[in-house]
Amino acid sequence: MTTDQPTHDQPPAAERWPVDYDSLKKGDSIPPRVVCEYFKTSQSSRHYSLFAMRLGEMIERELEARGLHVLTCTQNDFVHILTDEEAAESVEVNFNRCFSRARKIHAKARTIDRAQLDAAQNARLDRALMIQGAKLLAARDAEVRAIEEAKIEEQKKLGS
């Protein structure tokens, strides 16, 4: 296996801590050098962004265990620990991006050639599509209700 490919194994125990978690705080950025050293890759690797995201997830989990709730993102190849203000701005964008992706995946799943599936696979696909559809519909209905309630609240404030 080349060092350019992502693995699901944990790095060696001696390298478990790529950063000093005790000194990390919201607003800090981890330079690309740390990602490259820890995952034995280069910044030009096609897998670099996956490694950077993985390091961000590791930082989130470790800081969560230490009682500090943070969100991370990658910006210009740096792993950035978002401040509360940055996190507040990014939450809606990231949620909508993921939700949009879920809708696209559901739509693509509906185009699967069922003639190629056996009966059990067809049944599992039907069940999965039905559950996904119900979740997407419930989320859309909840969004519509929330928007309507926000409009009503806004009108009440303007009327007061």
Which segments within 3-71 are labelled E, that is strand?
29-30
Question: Per-residue pLDDT tens for 58-78?
Answer: 999 999 999 999 999 999 999
User: Which residues in the chain come in under a pLDDT of 50?
Assistant: 1-2, 11-15
Give the pLDDT score at 1: 45
Q: What is the pLDDT of residue 5?
A: 54
Beta-carbon count within 10 A of 159 CB:
6
pLDDT of residue 12: 44
Integer angstrom CA distances of residue 120 from 57, 86, 108, 127: 36, 46, 20, 11
All structural domains of the chain with their residue ranges: 13-82, 86-144
Q: C-alpha distances in angstroms, 61 versus 28, 81, 110, 114?
A: 16, 12, 35, 40
